[in-house]
Structure 1
Amino acid sequence: MSDEELVQALAGNRPLPNSAPLAAVYSGHQFGVWAGQLGDGRAILLGDVAARDGGRMELQLKGAGATPYSRMGDGRAVLRSSIREYLCSEAMAALGIPTSRALAVIGSDQLAMRERPETTAVVTRMAPSFVRFGSFEHWYYNNQPENLKTLADYAIAGFYPELLAAANPYQALLAEVTRRTAHLMAQWQAVGFMHGVMNTDNMSILGLTLDYGPYGFMEAYDPGHICNHTDQQGRYAYNKQPQIGHWNCFALGQALLPLIGSVEATEAALASYQAHYDKKLDELLHAKLGLATQQADDDKLLDAMFAIMQASHVDFTLFFRQLGNLRLDDAGGDSALRDLFIDRAAFDAWALQYRTRLKLENSQDQSRKLAMDACNPKYVLRNYLAQTAIEQAQNKDFSEVGKLLEILENPFDEQPQHAKYSALPPDWARGLEVSCSS
């Protein structure tokens, strides 16, 4: 980043050598309502580059100015939302969750009007592809089957070449995207991540977490929590995400129907969603509880756990991290975990069930803790941490952004020097709200 030409390119002031910038058109269902044509209103695709794994990564600038699809917008992104996307992209990658990545964020003194005037920025993000469910919906609803087929053939050849040998490659494409989406939803639920705007134009054809806006990580556990202040109806609440993921796959299936050829074949491709989701979430929850085997009544143990967490509004991340410290033969080791609960008796009763279950598989405290700490993060991007970094950056001090990035790149490590970043949020954080302008 000491190269001035690179800085200018990533700020959107000049093109990179050999790049052919473009903005993509797509449409979408927004909050369940067909919104028609949308497109990259503030994103410019520069091109793609070779990745370390032998594949390709597209480079995209978000906030570099107006595009053919900006409609009445200015094509700019505010510094606040750019830092949030930059940090959360990398935080999710470190958690092992499929996501677009962030390469750089560059601030500016230029102002843009949102609820109030705000300074702007450009974030450089990367993904093998930014094609969305809405990319297919666009051609379907505009009755352009040739372009729909061109896009589907591009996606299969470029990202799912193994599907070319399938009897019906388009049905196989829908089935694979459905599987990936189901797995992604399970991974979101397992870490308490809430996207906030699961419109079909924000859903990746590769099963990536895409377009970070009013997202949040669950703190005081409430399955009905809505992280997006704009979402007045709660369509994208935490406990609705899995079914919305399925709904969005149906929207993609509708768009691919002319290529797949029949309603029955389309429904067959979509039918596996719930089984894939249930299996993946069950696997992740067993790992989070340090359970190495499957037992008949495990669902009752999990249901009881979430019930007492909800009743006491227990911090989601702290609960699972502290759970790794529980010892089979010493209730005294539960103190920090137990203190998270208002109803201590309810926790004690559940902990007794949990210990009994652990003993069924001869669980060992030390090895179980190591395994649990490897899948229960100590550090997530809480809203107040992002807000603190944003406020400093608005005064041109990016040191807190850098520190947060360093911490979040190693979310499972203890990092004793940064322990305060894993603590319960301060009282002032309760008033923080994020919306579609975030």
Structure 2
Amino acid sequence: MSTSPASVTRLRSLESLDFTNSYARLGPAFHTPVEPTPLSEPHLISFNTALAGQIGLDPAEAARPEFLAWLNGEYRLPAGEPVAMLYAGHQFGHFVPQLGDGRAIILGEVLDADGRRWELQSKGAGPTPYSRNGDGRAVLRSSIREYLCSEAMHALGVPTTRALCLAGSGEEVYRERIETGALLLRAAPSHVRFGSFEVFYYRGQFTQLQRLADYVIAHHYPELQQADNPCLALYREVVERTARLLAQWQLVGFAHGVMNTDNMSILGLTLDYGPFGFMDTFEPGFVCNHSDHAGRYAFERQPDIGLWNLSCLGQALLPLLDEDPGAAAELATARFEDYHEIFNQCYEAGLRAKLGLRETKAGDRALAEDFLALLAADARDYTLSFRRLAGFDSGENADNSGLRDQFINREAFDVWARRYRDRLRREGSDDAERRAAMNRVNPKYVLRNHLAQQAIEQAEAGSYGELERLHAILQRPFDEQPEHEAYAAEPPDWARSITVSCSS
């Protein structure tokens, strides 16, 4: 990792980090103090040096035995106050009054040199009071998937939690089969979720509800403190961030898999990577979660589910918006109804960028959606089809047979291509400039399931080279990387047999 002289001076040892835990200050109604349960035979698998530098941690610290001991709960920093968060949530549409961190523990919070907060959460750290008879462990398979995907999403420009490091162990954990336990160290400004508010609303604990809202505003939305109605302003911000996040998921072809309200971030981050998937062939009804039998969280339903989840959050915030329930409902509804406009603006702007269109003109969304219809009809690869479209030649008699021949219905593509050519000419588009612009927003590399599976299988056999290679490739999703061309190929036939479920 290259660093400037200024950044080198900010890098610190583990013990000298500016460590605190502001969430622990909220009091026992919001969390339970709990010590991590160490895994047997722990070993560090991968360390994210780039993120360490952002946090202010010297990457050399990863080589110290104390770092692994701290991660594994065998060594406690003087300022450490590990806690498991309490929250509730709507799971697959049904309210569950108490959930909470069943296998994750907040180890503390670091302030970097710029005053940004990084809450560090160990996932797989052992049982907590919220484990619901579970073992509190994470397995290597799912931990690798989250480690790779959270950083891949960050590189794609999608708001997300991050992953600082990944550790394995010799401890056996039983899921559908016996697997090895692992630890993932997540980093985010906050892991507060919609369900964090729901638990106090449904318990009628409005004092705690207000305190949580005040905490979130003070620490993460301080500009809202001067608003006439700070809690209403908070809801408006969360509606906007969630709408933008969902648009970004749709634009990169990402399906979350478990969009329960306890998995929705109050900061508009992609949170809790369980069963997820980037689409290979474009399929609007794509369901990445094998456990989602009804298809509630299918790809095409994600925007509406985002809105449904926001309605649950709005319900939970009602006591804070106005003393009169009717007035509170009207205020929340007005903000709630902004969602579709914000989503559509972000999504349509993203579609124009994916097509290389600089200007906004009538019919742009229809043009993009008709291209998507072509992909769906012929089962074309979502990521690669947009990437290849950058090579479109808008000349009058141009030969676009390379693009055309990817489609079964070539005549339908020809009709669409003429519309696309005319649209490009209407804004005086230059092919070279458009190609460069499209390649900056249409990734060549995404975390396809078969790539993750190959890294997992090698890691389970004790080899981590493929994990590190894939992690590095995904940090540069828009670059050509000719030496890694195979990682941008369409998936092999055997990839269709890969399934992920809620245990993933």
Normalised to the residue count of structure 1, the TM-score between the two structures is: 0.98
Q: How does 1:292-331 map to 2 (within 5 A)?
A: 292-329=358-395
Which residue of structure 2 aligns with residue 397 of structure 1? 463
Code of the aligned partner of 1:85: E
Q: CA deviation at 1:433?
A: 0.5
Q: Distance in 2 between matches of 1:101 and 1:312?
A: 36
Write the deviation string for residues 168-191 of structure 1: whole angstroms up to 9, x where unpaired: 111111111000000000000000
Letter matched to residue 169 of structure 2: S
Distance 1:61 1:330 in 2: 58
Report if the CA contact (8 A) 2:201-2:316 is conserved. yes
The one-letter amino acid of 2:426's match is L
Asked whether the 8 Å contact 2:123–2:137 carries over to 1, the reply is yes
* Structure 1 residue 228 displacement after superposition: 0.5
Which of 272, 280, 296 lines up with 2:346 in the alignment? 280
Q: Is the 8 A contact 2:355 2:368 kept in 1?
A: no
Find the aligned partners of 1:202 and 1:125 in 2 and give their Cα distance: 14
- Structure 1 pair 330–84 and aligned structure 2 pair: CA distance change class (3 A): farther
2:244 to 179, 183, 193: 183
Deviation at 1:381, TM superposition (A): 0.1
Give secondary structure in 2 for the equivalent of 1:23. Answer: strand
Aligned to 1:206: 267
Following superposition, the deviation at residue 145 of structure 1 comes to 0.6
- Give the alignment of 1:126-165 within 5 angstroms: 126-165=187-226
Residue 349 of structure 1: CA displacement?
A: 1.5
Alignment-mate amino acid for residue 272 of structure 2 = D
| One-letter amino acid of the structure 2 residue matched with residue 425 of structure 1 | P
Using the alignment, how far apart are the partners of 1:195 and 1:22 within structure 2?
26
1:290 aligns with 2:363: no
Residues 389-433 of structure 1, C-alpha deviation per residue, up to 9 Å, x if partnerless? Answer: 000000111111100010000000000000100000001101111
Match runs of 1:8-407 below 5 Å = 8-51=69-112, 53-261=114-322, 262-329=328-395, 334-407=400-473
Q: What do residues 230-287 of structure 1 show as CA deviations (whole Å, max 9, x unaligned)?
A: 0000100000000000000000000000001211111112111000000000111100
Give the letter aligned to residue 70 of structure 2: A
Residues 425-434 or 161-170, more deviating: 161-170
Give the superposition deviation at 1:15. 2.5
**CA distance in 2: counterparts of 1:71 and 1:336, whole angstroms:** 55
| d(CA) in 2 for partners of 1:129, 1:229 | 29
Deviation per CA, 1:367-391: give whole Å up to 9, x if none: 1011000000000000000000000
Aligned equivalents of 1:43, 1:82: Cα separation in 2 = 12
Q: How far apart, in 1, do the equivalents of 2:114 and 2:403 lie? A: 41
Secondary structure in 1 aligned to 2:219? helix
Q: 1:311-366: CA deviations, max 9, x gaps?
A: 00110000110011111127765344333322222112111110111011110011
For structure 1, the residue ranges without an aligned partner over 5 or more in a row are none
1:437 and 2:503 are equivalent in the alignment: yes
CA contact (8 A) 1:192 1:316 kept: yes
Cα distance in 1 for residues equivalent to 2:102 and 2:84? 8
* Residues 355 and 127 (structure 1), Cα distance of their counterparts in 2 relative to 1, 3 Å cut: same
Tell me which residue corresponds to 1:418.
Answer: 484
- Whether contact under 8 Å (2:100, 2:130) holds in the other structure is yes
- Equivalent pair of 1:379/1:407 in contact (CA under 8 Å): yes
Q: 1:183-241, CA deviations, whole angstroms, 9 ceiling, x for partnerless residues?
A: 00000000000000000000000000000011000111110110101000010000000
Distance 1:98 1:361 in 2: 31
Structure 1 residues 142, 333: CA separation in 2 closer, same or farther (over 3 Å shift)?
farther
Range that drifts further, 329-338 or 107-116:
329-338
Query: Offset of 1:309 from its aligned partner?
Result: 1.1
Q: Identity over aligned residues, as a percent?
A: 56
Rounded Cα–Cα distance in structure 2 between residues aligned with 1:403 and 1:336 = 30
Contact 1:45–1:59 under 8 Å retained in 2: yes
Q: Structure 2: state its 5+ residue gaps.
A: 1-61, 323-327
Task: Flag the 1:114–1:331 CA change in 2: closer, same or farther, 3 A.
Answer: farther
Q: Is the 8 A contact 2:352 2:368 kept in 1?
A: no
- Is the Cα contact below 8 Å between 2:351 and 2:365 reproduced in 1? no
CA distance in 1, matches of 2:399, 2:471: 32
The two structures have a TM-score, normalised by structure 2, of 0.85
Greater CA drift, 238-247 or 292-301 = 292-301
Deviates more, 1:245-254 or 1:107-116: 107-116
**Distance (whole Å) between structure 1 residues aligned to residue 309 and residue 193 of structure 2:** 11
Aligned residues: 438
Q: Are the equivalent residues in 1 in contact too, given 2:197–2:313 (CA < 8 A)?
A: yes
Instruction: Check the 8 A contact 1:66/1:76 in 2, yes or no.
Output: yes
